[in-house]
Each structure stands twice: as structure tokens, then as C-alpha cells.
């Protein structure tokens, strides 16, 4: 290959496509991985009668809670 000869277009296109796949795939994998890590790190919700399913005005409606 001479120094004055330009690289073939298809080689450049393949390099650009591989680079884009690596960047997009790496970003997607990182987002997926950290999302799964957050799910595993989330504290376990208590079960049983002491567990509160909601709080605030969402569960304090005077119309729905006729006691």
C-alpha cells in the first residue's frame, strides 16, 4: 500500500459500525447491570399485618375508609 493511497471506504464503514455497536452496547449493558444491582440492593419489604401498604392521603380518604 502506498502512502498516498487512501483507505478503502468499506473498511472505514466497518470500523465506524463496530465502534458504534461497542459504544451503544456498552452503554446499554452498563445501564442494565446497574439497574439489576439497584434491585438487589433494595431492602426487603416487611410482610404480615404490621406492613403498611401505603401512607398519606392515598390511604386516608374519609370516603373510602368508613370506620
47 domain-assigned? yes
**More confidently predicted of 31 and 2:** 31
48 domain-assigned: yes
Count of domains for the chain: 1
Q: Read out DSSP for the chain?
A: --TTPPPPHHHHHHHHHHHHHHHHHHHHHHHHHHHHHHHHHSPPPP-STT--S--GGGT--TTT---
Residue 67 lies in a domain: no
**Residue 63 counted as domain residue:** no
- pTM of the complete model: 0.52
> Is residue 51 a part of any domain in this protein?
yes
Take residue 49 and report the three cell numbers written for it: 399485618
Estimate to the nearest angstrom the gap between the alpha carbon of 63 and the chain centroid. 39
Q: Is residue 1 part of a domain?
A: no
The answer to whether residue 65 sits within a structural domain is no
The range of the structural domain enclosing residue 40 comes to 9-58
26-62: pLDDT as tens digits:
999 999 999 998 888 877 666 655 555 556 666 666 6
Amino acid at each position: 500500500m502506498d502512502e498516498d493511497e487512501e483507505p478503502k471506504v468499506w473498511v472505514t464503514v466497518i470500523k465506524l459500525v463496530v465502534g458504534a455497536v461497542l459504544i451503544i452496547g456498552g452503554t446499554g449493558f452498563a445501564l442494565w447491570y446497574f439497574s439489576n444491582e439497584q434491585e438487589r440492593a433494595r431492602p426487603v419489604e416487611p410482610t404480615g399485618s404490621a406492613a403498611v401498604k401505603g401512607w398519606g392521603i392515598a390511604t386516608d380518604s374519609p370516603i373510602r375508609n368508613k370506620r
